[in-house]
Structure 1
Amino acid sequence: MQASLVTGLFLADSTPLQVVVSGVFSPLDNNGRQEEAVKRLIQRELGPGVKVVSSRDGTTFPLFSLMLSKISSSLVGHMGLLERENASILNASILGFAQRTIQGFQSAMRALDLSCPLFLTQNDGTLTSAGSAARLPIRTFASGPTNSMRGAAFLAGLEERNRTHHTKSIIVIDVGGTTTDVGVLLPSGFPRQAAATIEVGGVRTNFAMADVQSIGLGGGSCVRQSEGAVTVGPDSVGHYLTRDAVLFGGKVLTATDVVVASGRADLGKGKPDVSPDLVSAAMDVMKRKLERIIDKMKTSPEDIEVLLVGGGSIITPPGLVGVARISRPPFYAVANAVGAAMARVAGEVDTIEFLQGRTLEEVLEPLKLQAIQKAIQAGADPGISSPWLLCIPGLSTASEHTHIVEVTNLPVQYVTNQATRIIIKAAGELALSSPGPTVDLEQSPQEDIDSVDVGEDEKEILQVASEQVVDLDIETYRPQIRVDRLWNLSELDLEWIADGCGVLGTGGGGSPYPPFLVARQLLREGKEILVADFKDVPNDAVFVRCTFMGSPSVSIERLQGGAEIPASVQAVLKYIGHDECTGVISDEIGGGNGIQPMIIAAEMGKVVLDVDLMGRAYPNVCLPCSDLDAVYIPSRIDVPDYKALGREYPTNSYDRDGLTIWGQYGTPDPESMRGIRISQAWRIGRAIALQKKRNDLKNIPKAILQIQNGACLFVGKIVNVEREVRKGFTWGSVTIAPLREDEEEDSSTPSPAISYGSDTRLVIPFQNENLYACLETPGKPKKILVTVPDLITVLDSQSGASLGTPEYRYGLRVTVIALAGNPKWTSTPEGLTCGGPSAFGLSDVPFTPIAEYKEPASVIEEYASEMN
């Protein structure tokens, strides 16, 4: 990085107070050298007044002096540049506030003459040092709801209840002075974890935390009436309730005033003088807010039990729609404090290993043992009688109270020595019978915290365009088909197509999310994305195919710049002797590549053909199943030997390439176009959206299987991921185990899922895309359930979203489905040779179709007919 680039980023009169550094592939740099070098350069060029924060701040920090080594992993997020960048910006935005808060804690400790160290709870329910929390507050900002849920489970005796009989999940509502936090407790008593990606502040992130939703409603929420409309919150008097609320002699009408005026509570200096109509209207507003947030957290339309905690929970009205029972445990007002006192102690191992000559399992076992040892030495309960038993191999799964909670395997991209970064985290309950971890009592509670020069006064907040949310009724939504039979895509259409592309990508094709953001921005800038039916194409039409090529593990870090495919389109048109083309064709609908033609069409003012030439994603650039003649042209260099260069270039440059292929002259043959439409992706995305709206996530597989025939193969959680990147591909496998009874949210499973024994594992090998799924049970032969060219997709059970192979992560709850492949792949010798098991070295594996293929209906045909 050159110094001129740094100074050129900022005008002389707009030097920033903070700069966030998030490097490409920074999770693979376990020493943090990449971002540290950039930080030093920025500070040198912009001066000491600029605070530079990286996604790796706090690379090492002391946790306990007895620990064998320091914890070195301090990543804000996992692999995925966009999500990690978002998390880094959020982290920087709350950094000053967090550091002032922690310094305030430490000042109070000094005033009380306390010499003990200060620890805070993290989003995942484990402890962290004050120094770490001051550098990475994004890891602690949602710890309050996690603490409340753990405390609520303890106070309500849920763990004891579950020992005697299986219980269903319970929603915990924690009402404070300003906000209401809502989470889900599993029958095990632990909070339900968030999906692989979560939205914080309206942006997507991918760090670990409990699945919590918050609304601006609390005991101190301000109540206003203007022109007959009544609002409650989101602003609040907060902890000044006893000073500002009407019932305490103040002048601000709050939610607590309304509840007392209704006669449902007795607080303060008497009942406030509030009109009955205003009380009734405000109570209705609070009721609707709570019902909406509860509805959003449910994964089943059935009524659910609610556990109320928090000092502000008195504002919760009875008789909430969708709630079977509402209860408050003893000491409900201090559930948060109880949960914080129950926070688990963690230990972590972070290392680079070379797998040559060893299996990943052989490497992981001793590292898991080290992680458990670190947690126990930090004060976690070993759950066994003698510490020397920890030396026994395989004990990593034998400890009753301390166990592995996270395993992250990050292969170093495009290397030949199978180098991989491994991060393993173990956690356990605090060992109450022991004096706890040894600490340096001479250490000042004012731990090593970098100070930040932020005054007490609020800084000026720049006004930015807020996300416009249009409340559409997706049940009755109709796509816009113009009179000339062109489908004019809306943002909702685009979102559904992106979700459908993820399902059809079978783990590959790149994440649909980054190209979706690009395409959506083009729509917001006034450009159009027009989709045409192939039946309406004129005889002199010229279409090109476009796609990106490279490893999915690389594409989530190296985002597209925007010029790759347009440049290759121009190169192809020049090669075939044309100045213009009629439009573009989706080379493979799977993953992010399904969105690329829409970006190009919007930028060039062309149409996208409602055609998909593969019906899925494939790791190799195959001839499309429509049997179109193709001339292959590389995107970067005009050379004739594409096949030799195609994978070699991105491999050697740690990159991926945009690719355009000469696709079609004239009107396509209707027979060759049958059953291969973008419309199928739209319908799958719509089916997912409808189930989400109905809070019926467990039946998302069933809804998808109504669009395309197939089967729901397995429901469980990921217990192992092996992954490496070589020769331009992401190779590996994912292993999925069934959920334990106390991990299930209810007794039902997605229909028509198949149930298996607790020792059965579903293993899915992949090469960019999922290749086959097989069952492995001790003492029984391996049973292959489905293979390519049928589609194998892993869904995130928490959100219903599809997962790409780079997103497979230890502990994620997933549902595996298989969809029938297009007959051109499954029923022809050429298709099976090119895309069947033998194409991937599985010559001894026969192909048996999972189901009969169902031809997807055209969106244009269906909705254009409604106009006539």
Structure 2
Amino acid sequence: MTVQKVFRIGVDVGGTNTDAVIIHTGESDLPNRGIRSAFKTPTTPDVTEGIAKAIQGALSQCNVSLSSIAAVMIGTTHFINAVVQADDSSLRRVAVMRICGPYSQENPAFLDFPPILSRLMNGHVSYLDGGLEFDTREIMPLDEEQIRRECQTIRGKWINDIAIIGIFSPLDTEGKQEVKVRNIVKEEIPDADVVCSRDIGQLGFLERENATILNTSILKFARSTIRGFKLAMQELGLTCPLFLTQNDGTIIDADTAERCPIRTFSSGPTNSMTGAAYLAGFDTAKGKMPKAPVIVADIGGTTTDVCALLPSGFPRQAGTWVDIGGVRSSFSMPEVVSVGLGGGTLVEVTDSKTKVGPESVGHRLLQEGLVFGGNTLTATDVVVAAGKAEIGDISKVQHIPQSTIAAARVAMKKILENAIDIMKLSADPAVVIVVGGGSIVNMDELDGVCELIRPQFHDCANAVGAAIAKVSGSVDVIKVLENQDEEEVVNSVCEEAKQLAVDAGADPETVEIIELDNMPLQYVQMRANRIVARAAGALSRKSVLIDQLKIAPEDQAADTFVRGKRMKRDVEKDPKDFIVSPSALVDLTKYSPEVDKGGKWWVSEVDLEFLATGCSILACGGGGPGYMCYMAGRAALKNGQRLCIVDVNTLPEDEYIMGSISYGAPTVTTERLPSGTEAIDATDALLQCHPGLKMAAQAAIEIGGMNGIRPMLTGLHYGVPAIDGDFMGRAYPRLYLLTPYLYDLPATPCTQSDGMGNVVTVNKCQDIRKLEKIHRKAGQEIGLFSQMVIPPLTVKQTKQVGTLGTTSLAWYIGRAVYLAKQQNTSIMKAIVEANPSGRVLYTGKIVHVHRYVSAGGYTEGSVRLKPLSEDEQEYGDEVLSAEKREMVLPFQNEYLYAELVEPGEAASKPDRKRGEVLCTVPDLISLVGTDGYALGTQDLRYGVRVSVVAFVAHPHWYTPQGIRTGGPLEFEYDDLDFIPLGTPYYEPSV
């Protein structure tokens, strides 16, 4: 008689305990949801030993034969811990091979790694011909001989862990470049481990590269660990296949996990969330997800992790990048809010005041908690003293005053309520599922919660989530929609994602789309969208029956040597080695920039960090992502170059100022990183139109985003400084919205270049609006990212038409942000104190984002905010506490006006009466996140807490011509007059 393989074993390895459950997935209709047994054991230094104990314990508690086990699913934090702790015995040197052509070289690999990880991992970096445009045209063809030469260099350095990263490689479905390079590398270095970035991350070159490097460095350690898991299963008599859970709540087979361990780095929280939904009966196959918002609170010994569940039953995902051990990386992870409340949280009573957390005794609870014979009052002791649980010795807590118990309960309740409300996208009451071993600390009903569920087996929801995890497939592409039906294109992408899930082992009958984003590219004349689709389905029976546990002969031995030589490295670990932020290493109350006797400001890495943050705020939602220019500036400084800024008043009036502006789509900018030659080529072309011109300095055309730092980098080539100022005072979406053109200065000749030596020059044009259209069309052909150079201005003209002092202003705003972080004071208050013309108009969270592409090719739309609850407000928010209305901010690449509307009122109804408009363009409006960095319109997403900060525009924009050119009428708001902010313009000190 054939034994049916109907059971799964789910395992989750946590920092304190390792949990295992055995579940019959075909019995989910039963009261126990098919769970036959659950077992918890302390996590051991050798995680394989703990996993074996947990599985053995679960098997011993139920009458389940080994031959009936269909699969083992394991979730572990073992690999991410090696990165976070900079474990030199687990991390290896990596050779990076960039397929980039001329691009990205001003942003070297490893530059934004913590110093200790850079020392451990940075083995070699190659820059290869190649790369793709956004539409998969080749930037350059591959050079096979060049690749083979680089392989010989890598072999000579005794490196055989190689990461390959190509520009726009996630769009390369045909394997045009990364795959070809990998095949050549394997010919030259047969024993090399080679990882292609297209298998690791989505669009975003630096973040995908970083994730690929981490994956490559940890590869051999992961392989050895996963082989240990297989051997442990073999010793237990299990012959079923092994799967590991991924960060997004799905599973991959063990062989894939050996190649892509980074996909499993943070699967623990996701396992808890999906397990909670299953235990609560919200599995979507039965359509039981409630219509109300569903929030999961996983309460452990030290913290509570809170996450929102999507209608699919999967956790809501975090933004475009995440921080792993101080490394900015890209891969899917759940959006989780962690707060300091758990079973071991300290409860302190001083001066008749009761304080709960965030400190905790953590895993020492059984030794230090009062009910266990210790001397520390914890949240668990409060629960027992309140009569809500029978744990330990109740006599040990009978002396605690009732007032202390009551005050602690109120504080614990507020902590949970605030965390839950942060994750909600609306004011509607939520269904909350409480799981985790520390879930007993929730003793009271919670405001804003319509139903509170603590399901059976709640203390092992993480292992349940691993056991019931699905198989997924995802696609991230840019599609040109000209002459195509958008719905058909989107459906085609969805079908491709579904097929990838089936290919990975999902049952075709159960696969469905669980996430779909369709976002138009900004600043693009043609119709082009970035489409991200993710599909998931149940593990197919075929996958379970065919893919038995694979243990090769080499699995019996640890793989820890490089061609027979042990790579031993003694690394001292100084806490400063884990810090990436330059300003975190200095006392900002004592810091001042370097200004020499001649008035030249020599910019440091700290100054660059301030400038990048300040420029993001002055960008008003536009300006493009500034991170790569900031990192390019740091790279220049590390190479011994010096970046200089001067006051324009120190320059001869008859000499000339030249400058450039980034021109193109932000999505392209984050992938095809600048070569650094774009502005130089465009400037050289323009200089040919002005023989004999003497350049005194470079200038930012706009101060916003990446443009505020670029003139310093371009100035290095010409040996000139950058001036303190720009020609816009903010960011605007169109070329003609510059202050020189308010005074009828010539707009041609005007050039743009793509970094490949392609230069487009418009010598003459009938009007400036036509000039904009011509350059946008040309920009499409050269890849949707270039640097544009406008006609030179004399120093005298610059003094008359420039917005001077804005570079200093950006520095002061950035300094205010980082100083507030160091001193734990209000960031928003610090920002408006740095620019006294500013006001915080609103603090709330994003509850709706709408985007579309206008006929002119601009990304338009609006973002809606709702007010924070009283408990969500922080220091500095009190002036806004009475505001109950919501705020709507329309945008056209940049934010155009800020309007207060009644809750629930549709802001798009054509016949509605306008609410209270607080300010409009040309005044500056910026959405600033809690970290002090502003959100571009491309970064807007649901649930993010932001403050709306506004500043008075430069007086040039307050002239009649300035208001006509840059006010509401320019953006087709015929019914809206310019509404000034109402505070005096702040003249930055130069």
TM-score normalised by L of structure 2: 0.59
What is the correspondence of 1:123-522 to structure 2 with a 5 Å cutoff?
A: 123-144=247-268, 146-147=270-271, 194=318, 196-210=320-334, 337=463, 340=466, 355=481, 404=514, 407=517, 409=519, 416=526, 418=527, 420=529, 422-425=531-534, 438-446=541-549, 455-457=559-561, 459=567, 471-475=585-589, 477-522=591-636
Q: Work out whether 1:679 is the aligned partner of 2:822.
A: no
Identity %: 30
Name 2:846's counterpart in structure 1: 716
Residue range with higher mean Cα deviation, 523-532 or 569-578: 569-578
Q: Work out whether 1:827 is the aligned partner of 2:958.
A: yes
What is the correspondence of 1:92-111 to structure 2 with a 5 Å cutoff?
A: 92-111=216-235
* 1:355-376: CA deviation from partner (whole Å, max 9, x where unpaired): 5688968976998899999999
CA contact (8 A) 1:615 1:677 kept: yes
Counterparts of 1:571 and 1:90, CA distance in 2: 41
Q: Work out whether 1:815 is the aligned partner of 2:946.
A: yes
Counterparts of 2:631 and 2:983, CA distance in 1: 32
Shift in Å, 1:782 = 6.0
Match of 2:195 among 45, 50, 53: 53
Residue range with higher mean Cα deviation, 700-709 or 80-89: 700-709
Letter in 2 for 1:789: P
Counterparts of 1:649 and 1:484, CA distance in 2: 42
CA contact (8 A) 1:717 1:814 kept: no
Match of 2:763 among 605, 620, 641: 641
Shift in Å, 1:600 = 2.6
Letter in 1 for 2:976: P
| 3-state SS, counterpart of residue 508 of structure 1 | coil
CA contact (8 A) 1:568 1:659 kept: yes
Q: Work out whether 1:120 is the aligned partner of 2:252.
A: no
Name 1:601's counterpart in structure 2: 715
Residue range with higher mean Cα deviation, 637-646 or 23-32: 637-646
Counterparts of 1:848 and 1:142, CA distance in 2: 49
| 3-state SS, counterpart of residue 658 of structure 2 | strand
Counterparts of 1:308 and 1:484, CA distance in 2: 64
Counterparts of 2:884 and 2:489, CA distance in 1: 31
| CA shift in 2, pair 1:351/1:570, >3 Å | closer
Shift in Å, 1:21 = 2.1
Q: Work out whether 1:523 is the aligned partner of 2:628.
A: no
Match of 2:646 among 532, 544, 557: 532
Match of 1:35 among 166, 178, 182: 178
Residue range with higher mean Cα deviation, 452-461 or 203-212: 452-461
| 3-state SS, counterpart of residue 822 of structure 1 | coil
Counterparts of 2:587 and 2:799, CA distance in 1: 35
Name 1:565's counterpart in structure 2: 679
| CA shift in 2, pair 1:80/1:730, >3 Å | farther
Match of 1:576 among 684, 690, 700: 690
Residue range with higher mean Cα deviation, 491-500 or 650-659: 650-659
CA contact (8 A) 2:654 2:796 kept: yes
Name 1:789's counterpart in structure 2: 922
Shift in Å, 1:783 = 7.1
Aligned residues: 718
| 3-state SS, counterpart of residue 985 of structure 2 | coil
Shift in Å, 1:84 = 1.4
| 3-state SS, counterpart of residue 199 of structure 1 | strand
Shift in Å, 1:492 = 1.9
Name 1:732's counterpart in structure 2: 859
Shift in Å, 1:4 = 1.7
Match of 2:658 among 521, 544, 564: 544
CA contact (8 A) 1:820 1:849 kept: no
Unaligned runs of 5+ residues in structure 2 are 1-141, 281-289, 339-361, 375-414, 423-433, 439-454, 766-770, 900-904
CA contact (8 A) 2:220 2:560 kept: no
Name 2:148's counterpart in structure 1: 7
Q: Work out whether 1:689 is the aligned partner of 2:818.
A: yes
Letter in 1 for 2:531: I
CA contact (8 A) 1:183 1:191 kept: no
CA contact (8 A) 1:825 1:835 kept: no
RMSD: 5.9
| CA shift in 2, pair 1:25/1:781, >3 Å | farther
Match of 1:91 among 209, 215, 218: 215
Shift in Å, 1:715 = 2.5
CA contact (8 A) 1:81 1:558 kept: yes
CA contact (8 A) 1:173 1:309 kept: yes
Shift in Å, 1:137 = 1.8
| CA shift in 2, pair 1:257/1:789, >3 Å | closer
Q: Work out whether 1:78 is the aligned partner of 2:202.
A: yes
* 1:600-624: CA deviation from partner (whole Å, max 9, x where unpaired): 3345443222112101223332263
Counterparts of 1:782 and 1:32, CA distance in 2: 52
Shift in Å, 1:54 = 0.9
Q: Work out whether 1:632 is the aligned partner of 2:749.
A: yes
Name 1:279's counterpart in structure 2: none
| 3-state SS, counterpart of residue 198 of structure 2 | coil
| 3-state SS, counterpart of residue 545 of structure 2 | coil
Match of 2:164 among 21, 46, 68: 21
Shift in Å, 1:678 = 1.4
CA contact (8 A) 1:498 1:592 kept: yes
Shift in Å, 1:588 = 0.7
CA contact (8 A) 1:18 1:52 kept: yes
Letter in 1 for 2:165: S
Shift in Å, 1:723 = 6.2
Shift in Å, 1:857 = 4.2
Letter in 2 for 1:609: I
| CA shift in 2, pair 1:646/1:407, >3 Å | closer
Name 2:986's counterpart in structure 1: 856
Counterparts of 2:595 and 2:749, CA distance in 1: 34
* 1:262-299: CA deviation from partner (whole Å, max 9, x where unpaired): 999899xxxxxxxxxxxxxxxxxxxxxxxxxxx9xx99
Letter in 2 for 1:817: V
| CA shift in 2, pair 1:572/1:357, >3 Å | closer
Name 2:358's counterpart in structure 1: none
| CA shift in 2, pair 1:34/1:623, >3 Å | same
Name 1:217's counterpart in structure 2: none
Unaligned runs of 5+ residues in structure 1 are 58-75, 157-162, 176-180, 215-254, 268-294, 312-328, 381-386, 391-395, 397-401, 431-435, 861-868
Counterparts of 1:623 and 1:609, CA distance in 2: 20
| CA shift in 2, pair 1:266/1:350, >3 Å | same
| 3-state SS, counterpart of residue 748 of structure 1 | coil
Shift in Å, 1:495 = 0.9
Shift in Å, 1:517 = 0.9
| 3-state SS, counterpart of residue 220 of structure 2 | helix
Counterparts of 1:405 and 1:789, CA distance in 2: 37
Shift in Å, 1:683 = 2.7
Counterparts of 2:192 and 2:503, CA distance in 1: 39
Counterparts of 1:333 and 1:683, CA distance in 2: 49
Match of 2:873 among 732, 739, 748: 748
Letter in 2 for 1:17: N
TM-score normalised by L of structure 1: 0.66
Counterparts of 2:675 and 2:366, CA distance in 1: 55
Letter in 1 for 2:195: V
